[in-house]
Structure 1
Amino acid sequence: MTADPERRLAEALRAQARGGGRPMMPPRGEPEPAPGMSVRTALLLALLGGAILGTVLALLSLLTPGLLPALG
């Protein structure tokens, strides 16, 4: 009965060589988050940055008239 484990090993090696021994795909469900920043975080940071910039420019125009160039 020593041929049975050897035969199974040989079949497994052949399957792996043909590409049949690839690791299983992750289960379908929620995809893993990609590394880096999410779109929601990027939009939130852009909104926050715009609000801060607008506030700073509004305060500059109120506190020091003539400092900012007139548009139009």
Structure 2
Amino acid sequence: MTADPERRLAEALRAQARGGGRPVPPPRAEPDRRPGMSVRTALLLALLGGGVLGTGLALLSLLAPGVLPALG
């Protein structure tokens, strides 16, 4: 009769070492990405917007002199 409790204890310890029968979640391939704009995209859009604005002001000052106020 002493073998039965020892066998059950050994089985319980083996099951606990294997994870107790609970499914182990698979490891994530990559961290979750938050929705929204990345910093790289924001900087690129700001650079393009500044280029368009600068080009527009340069053309305006060349094609229509006197429209923009003088800075000096």
User: What TM-score comes out, normalization by structure 1 length?
Assistant: 0.58
Q: Which amino acid aligns with 1:43?
A: L
Larger Rg: 2
Number of residues paired by the alignment?
50
Taking only aligned residues, the RMSD between alpha carbons, in angstroms, comes to 2.4
Aligned partner of residue 49 in structure 2, secondary structure: helix
Mind listing any 5+ residue stretches in structure 2 that lack a counterpart? 1-24
The whole-number CA distance in structure 1 between the counterparts of 2:40 and 2:70 is 35
Matching residue of 1:15:
none
User: What TM-score comes out, normalization by structure 2 length?
Assistant: 0.58
Moved runs in structure 1, 4+ residues, more than 3 A? none
What is the identity percentage for the equivalent residue pairs of Structure 1 and Structure 2? 75
